[in-house]
Amino acid sequence: MTPVELSHTVLHAVRSAVDEGELAVAVPETVKVAPPGPGGCGDYATNVALRLAQPAGRPAAEVAEVLRARLLRAGGVRDVAVTGPGFLNISLAGDADAALVRRIRDEGMRYGHGDALAGRTVTLRVPREIRAEVVAEVTARLIGAQGGRACVTQVAHGESADIRPVPAPGDPAPLGPAAARWALLHPAPHDRPSLGGEHLAQREDNPLFRVRYAHARARAAARNAAQLGFTAEPGPMDTVAETPAGPMDTVAGIPAGPTDTVADTPADTPANAATAATAPALLRALADHPRVLAQAARAHAPDRLARHLVTVADATLEFLTHAAVLPTGEEKPSAAHRARLALAEAAGTVLAGGLTLLGIDAPEHL
């Protein structure tokens, strides 16, 4: 379940409570969910109960309990806790991570495309300046990815414009197509872009390099897995310990013998610890991708997508560096390896799709 889907789930809970007379408030148009802050728990948190408390004429904690009961019945939600003055802390079901990875595999580089601007035609008036023109081109592509249509028209100097970022200080062409576009798109519109050679450096302090390198690392993991004879399959990413079965234990309904084993609990291994430490940040970044694309399209702000790709890339590199995506030594590929590989491949897909929207290529090798 992505943050956008969870937001809709929370909104449905509010609407249900209003329709059934448990809350007397106007249903908000949107509900924001985000990773929990200090003192919170679970996967996501929302302050919707605090927002509704005053118009409902009830304490926020009571509003939260009304919504909590409904959220606990929603598909994909494992638990809901109320913390502080009335924050709802939502834990997703155990298969939510695998479902997200499957969705990205199914949708490919169109993951995150939607209908937020369906049926709308947006006119973008742009001055004759290279940065504004590139921003407008990518904005039009983002609007199209959200079901809308953009019409870009150029305006003369001094006329009103819909897109007018701080102009480029010179000609970005010497940087080459990829670095030039990144130099113009990555900074916020009010920031003056730099056209220096730092955009060409293959080192960690170059955000474009990190994004493309993370994509190449994800693709390399898939190639190496194929050489080892296994492919990706979404599922639990923890290695499971096997313990001797007792006389009453069964596997698939068959009594276990004295030497049989039954899958028990996740094994306490360094690989599991590394996965637990690095996978959640990557999963959150991937789940946030549809929201970022929709906001970038609405705000005419490709820089939001560029910075989001840096977040995805950094989480991807952390995961690939520390989690055991591939077996080592004499280790046999396990279901956990296949699931970790599936997450890595999903990250590569999101990075490739995002770079494509920015008009930047995503090399398989760096």
Q: Are 147 and 114 spatial neighbours (Cβ–Cβ below 8 Å)? A: yes
State residue 58's pLDDT score: 94
Strand pairing of 87-92 and 44-46?
antiparallel
Residue type, 123: T
Instruction: Name the packing angle between helices 335-357 and 207-228 (round to 10°).
Output: 140
- If we measure between CA atoms, which residue out of 124, 133, 135 comes closest to residue 160? 124
Integer Cα distance of 5 and 117 in angstroms: 17
**Encoding tokens for residue 105?**
């595999």
Residues 6+ apart with CB under 8 A from 163: 124, 125, 126, 132, 135, 136, 139, 189, 300
The reported pLDDT for the residue numbered 251 is 36
Calculate ∠ Cα 274-275-281, nearest 5°: 110
What does the alpha-carbon distance between residue 163 and residue 183 come to, in Å, rounded to a whole number?
A: 17
CA proximity to 340, closest of 271, 268, 270, 269: 271
Q: Mean pLDDT for each consecutive 10-residue tract of the chain (366 residues)?
A: 86 92 91 86 91 94 93 87 92 82 94 92 96 97 96 91 95 96 97 96 95 97 95 86 46 39 59 88 91 93 97 97 90 92 97 98 92
pLDDT at position 241 is: 59
SS3 state at 306: helix
Which phi and psi angles does 173 have, rounded to 5°?
-55, -40
* φ and ψ of 316, to 5 deg: -65, -45
Q: Would you tell me the crossing angle of helices 48-56 and 3-19 to the nearest 10 degrees? A: 20
| pLDDT confidence of residue 267 | 66
Long-range contacts of 135-138 (CB under 8 A, 24+ apart): 135/163, 135/165, 135/184, 135/185, 135/189, 135/300, 135/302, 136/163, 137/359, 138/185, 138/302, 138/357, 138/358, 138/359
Q: How far apart are CA 68 and CA 9, in angstroms?
A: 12
Burial class of residue 23 in the structure, from the number of CB atoms within 10 Å of its CB (0-12 exposed, 13-18 middle, 19+ buried): buried
Asked if 237 contacts 336 with a C-beta cutoff of 8 angstroms, the reply is yes
The confidence score (pLDDT) of residue 271 equals 84
CA–CA separation, 261 and 251 (whole Å): 9
pTM, full prediction: 0.78
Domains within the chain, CATH numbers bracketed: 3-92 (3.30.1360.70), 121-199 (no CATH), 207-357 (1.10.730.10)
**What pLDDT sits at residue 47?**
95
